[in-house]
Amino acid sequence: MTFRLSPYSRPWAALFALGVLLLPQTAQAQKYRTAAGLRLGKNNYGLTVQQKILDKTTLEGLALVGSREVSATVLAERHFGILGPSLNYYFGAGGHLGTHKDNGGFGGLDALAGVEYKVAFTPIVLSLDFKPTVEFNSEDWARFPTAFSVRYIFIKEKNTGLFDGLFGDGKSKKKEKTKTKSNSRPGLFDF
């Protein structure tokens, strides 16, 4: 099976493909290590805690309360920066256990896709996500909730300047400049 693009859409498709390939590599994800806050959905609300465990990987725990149920969820998430570390999109998966007032215990598997924004000059992270679930031992076999979260950053990521990750680390540039200046003669416009 082959896909054919019209001559007018080829440049746009190439530009889009190039952007998709370069974007995750140039941007650095997530400006914090530990954050906690509130999660608000249509049918439930609760607490959310995130802990960064690897460079772009986070574990998130959710404790949620609905009108007739209580549940706990653990998710592993992979974060990708969009034009710098303040705006991220993320994907993840995990599982949950809970109890329903009428039906008793239940469990399930979760997927997650979302977007988060670290508000400039504040320790606040805002996120919006979509978390479809498959339920076991429940009347609902699948759910498709969305939720909004507000988190407070307890532990920041070190060395997160305004342009870090977008233009590289300033320390390595300083070392390169000192090496080149000491090994070469100054030019006409070197001050």
* pLDDT per residue as tens, the chain (191 positions): 444 544 544 554 444 443 444 344 434 567 789 999 999 999 899 999 999 999 889 999 999 999 999 999 999 999 999 977 789 999 999 999 999 998 899 999 999 999 999 998 999 999 999 999 999 988 888 999 999 999 999 999 875 444 444 444 445 444 444 444 445 554 443 43
Residue 185 has what pLDDT?
54
For residues 158 and 169, give the distance between their C-alpha atoms in angstroms, rounded to a whole number.
Answer: 12
What is the chain's Cα-based Rg? 22
